[in-house]
């Protein structure tokens, strides 16, 4: 498989990048790359959690292992966490194959400390609700907010096809991060309502392809 780009800890291959072209289902490597890119600038109060870490938090067999293993992420100091959710619960497959290819839907859980809430954004009418609630239960024990953060099934623009859920997750994450860094007391749902749509998800696919190409050319120049 042809290597396209190494960015931070993420390796993108041609088969990953081609998934940004509709009507393909975006995989965890693309979301991981996009979250890493968003994390390269801006406030350290915001943590974009990788898909693999989010998956592990949800499915870790012993919750007591979570806090020591995640200590370096300083979750108790963060004002916002963005955690992608995949509807695969096949831990054995994930461990042996290194990806979440058996899942068929992405959504996003956002912990917002100023409102002490976990907002679940799902572009397919709550399809990932049970996975989001499982992740919420685990995250609630890790963020040290005093009282348990409330779970909110957030109003979410709905995808118009069967393949754009990953693009919605990326578009929501980018919009909310930008809005939060302008105003920590921001209305997260209002940002999503205002900034995210089927058109913005479509544009994000194209702009991410352009971003990868630009970073690839920069990498080649430095080599």
Is 60 known to be catalytic? Answer: no
Q: Which residues of 121-138 are buried (b: 16+ CB within 10 A; e: fewer)?
A: bbbbeebbeebbebbbeb
Tokens of 128: 């990932």
Please state whether beta strands 117-121 and 106-112 pair in parallel, antiparallel, or not at all (unpaired): antiparallel
Is 122 known to be catalytic? Answer: yes
Is 187 known to be catalytic? Answer: no
The catalytically annotated residue of 112, 118, 165, 186 is: 165
The catalytically annotated residue of 16, 28, 32, 105 is: 105
Distance CA 131, CA 137 (A): 10
The catalytically annotated residue of 122, 136, 164, 186 is: 122
Distance CA 44, CA 77 (A): 9
Residues classed as catalytic: 105, 122, 165
């Amino acid at each position: 498989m042809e290597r396209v780009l190494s960015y931070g800890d993420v390796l993108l291959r041609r088969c990953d990048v081609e998934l940004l072209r509709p009507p393909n289902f975006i995989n965890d490597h693309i979301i991981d790359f996009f979250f890493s890119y968003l994390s390269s600038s801006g406030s350290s109060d915001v943590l974009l959690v990788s898909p693999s870490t989010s998956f592990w938090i949800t499915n870790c067999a012993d919750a007591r292992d979570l806090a020591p293993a995640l200590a370096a992420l300083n979750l108790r100091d963060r004002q916002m966490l963005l955690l992608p959710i995949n509807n695969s619960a096949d831990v054995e497959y994930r461990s042996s194959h290194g990806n979440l290819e058996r899942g068929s839907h992405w959504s996003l859980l956002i912990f917002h400390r100023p409102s002490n809430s976990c907002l679940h954004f799902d572009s397919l009418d709550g399809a990932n609700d049970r996975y989001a609630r499982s992740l919420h239960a685990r995250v609630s024990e890790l963020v040290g907010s005093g009282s348990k953060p409330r779970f909110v099934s957030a109003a979410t623009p709905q995808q118009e096809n069967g393949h754009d859920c990953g693009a919605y997750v990326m578009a929501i994450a980018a919009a909310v991060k930008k809005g939060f860094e302008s105003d920590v007391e921001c209305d997260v749902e209002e940002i999503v309502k205002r900034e995210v749509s089927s058109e913005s998800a479509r544009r994000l696919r194209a702009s991410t392809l352009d971003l990868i190409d630009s970073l690839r050319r920069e990498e080649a120049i430095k080599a």
